[in-house]
Amino acid sequence: MLSYLVQRLFLMLVTLFGISLVIFALLRIVPGNIVDVLFDAAGFVDPAEKIKIEKDLGLDQPIVVQYATWIGGLLRGDLGFSYVSEKPALAEILPRIPITARLAGLALLFAVSLGVPLGVVSAVKQNTRLDYFLRVVSLAGLSLPAFWLGLLILMASVALFGTIPIYNAAPKSMWDSFVMYAVPAAAVGLRSSALIMRLTRSSMLEVLRQDYIRTARSKGASERSINYSHALKNAILPIVTIIGVEAAFLIGGLIVTETVFNIPGVARFLVEAIRWRDYPIVQNLVMFIAVVVVVVNFVVDLLYAALDPRIKLGA
C-alpha cells in the first residue's frame, strides 16, 4: 500500500509538471499578448512604448526564463501579478475559489442525491412503466444544455415571480448561500444526475444478474437487503468513478452557468483572463483546475480499495 501511494504521488507530480509545460506553451503559441491587446484597444502605435511595456512585464525574456520564473514563484506561493488589474494574482483568484466550490459542491450533491437513488429504482423496476419514464427523463437531462436550461429558468422566473435569480451580492448566511446557488446548481447538476442515474442503472443490472444474487434470493433474503446490501455495494465502483469525474469537471466546467447567472467564480474569471491574455491569471487558474482533477483521481483510486477489499494496491 505504501509503495502504491509513493508511486501515485510521483505520478501526480510528473503529470502536473507535464500539464504546466503544456499550459505555458499553449499560451505562448496563441497569437498576440497583453501588450498587443492594450495597444489595439487604445490605438497606440509607438513601438518604443510597446517594447518598454513588454520589458516591464518580463515578456521580453526567453521562454525558458519566463517558465522558470513562473514555476519558482508557484512553488513559493507567489503567483505573480495580474497584467490587467496589477494586483497579486493570488488576491484575484482566492476570493473566487469558494464561490465556485460552493456551486460545484451543491451541484454534485444534487446530482448524487438524485441520480443514484433513481438509478437503483430504475434497475430494480426494469422494463416497467416507471423504468421507461426514468430512462426518458435521464435522456432528456443528458440532451438539455446547461446554458439553455439556465436561460429558461431565468425567463420563467421573470414571468412567474418578476425577479431574476442571479448573483448580486455576497450571501450573509448559509441559508442565503443555499438559496442563491440552488437554482444554478440544479441547472448544471441535471446533466450530471442523468449521467449518474444511467450508469447506476447499468451497473446495478449487471450485478443483479450475478449468481450470488440468485443465491441470496433462494435463501430468502429480502429485496431491500439484496438491492442495497448486496447489489448496490458491489455496483458502487463505476458510480464512484463517474462521481469523481463529474466533481473534477464541475470545478472548471461552470463557465456558461456562472456567466448566465452572473456568478463571479473561477470559471468565468478564467474566460475573462484568456480574453485579455492575462498570462499569470490563466496559467495559475488552469493549474489549479489541473491539481483538482489529479487529486480527485487519486482520491477515487484510494476509495476503490476502501470500498472493495478484493482490490490490492501496490506490492
Interaxial angle between packed helices 2-29 and 63-76, expressed in degrees from 0 to 180 and rounded to the nearest 10: 140
Per the listing, cell 456551486 goes with 103
Return d(Cα 239, Cα 204) in angstroms, integer.
10
Return d(Cα 128, Cα 133) in angstroms, integer.
9
Among 305, 311, 286, smallest CA distance to 23 is for 286
Return d(Cα 197, Cα 122) in angstroms, integer.
8
What confidence category does residue 196 fall into, taking pLDDT thresholds of 50, 70 and 90? very high
268, 256 Cβ separation under 8 angstroms: no
Q: How far is CA 155 from CA 120, 182, 195, in A?
A: 34, 17, 26
- Please, what is the average pLDDT of the chain? 80
Q: What is the pLDDT of residue 39?
A: 62
Question: Mean pLDDT throughout 144-157?
Answer: 77
Give the CATH H-level superfamily of domain 97-307. Answer: MetI-like (1.10.3720.10)
Return d(Cα 291, Cα 297) in angstroms, integer.
10
98, 251 Cβ separation under 8 angstroms: no
First to last CA, the chain: 7
Percent of the chain with pLDDT over 90: 9
Q: Which residues neighbour 135 within 8 Å (Cβ) at sequence distance 6 or greater?
A: 122, 198, 201
Per domain, the residue ranges of the chain are 20-78, 97-307
Q: Tens of pLDDT along 8-43?
A: 888 888 988 898 888 888 877 766 666 666 666 555
Per the listing, cell 518598454 goes with 52
257, 147 Cβ separation under 8 angstroms: yes
Return d(Cα 163, Cα 284) in angstroms, integer.
36
Q: Which residue has the higher pLDDT, 166 or 204?
A: 204
Q: Tens of pLDDT along 163-192?
A: 666 666 666 777 777 777 888 888 888 888
Q: What is the pLDDT of residue 182?
A: 81
Q: Which residue has the higher pLDDT, 291 or 160?
A: 291
Q: Where are the alpha helices (DSSP H) in the chain?
A: 2-29, 34-42, 47-56, 63-76, 89-93, 97-124, 129-143, 146-161, 174-208, 211-218, 223-224, 233-252, 255-260, 266-275, 279-307
Q: Tens of pLDDT along 44-100?
A: 556 676 677 667 667 777 888 888 888 888 888 888 888 778 788 888 888 888 888
Q: What is the pLDDT of residue 210?
A: 83
287, 79 Cβ separation under 8 angstroms: no
Q: Tens of pLDDT along 233-254?
A: 788 888 888 888 888 878 766 7
pTM, rounded to two decimals: 0.79
Return d(Cα 141, Cα 41) in angstroms, integer.
42
Q: What is the pLDDT of residue 11?
A: 87
Q: What is the pLDDT of residue 118?
A: 92
Q: What is the pLDDT of residue 236?
A: 84
Q: What is the pLDDT of residue 129?
A: 92
Q: Is the pLDDT of residue 309 over 60?
A: yes
Q: What is the pLDDT of residue 112?
A: 92
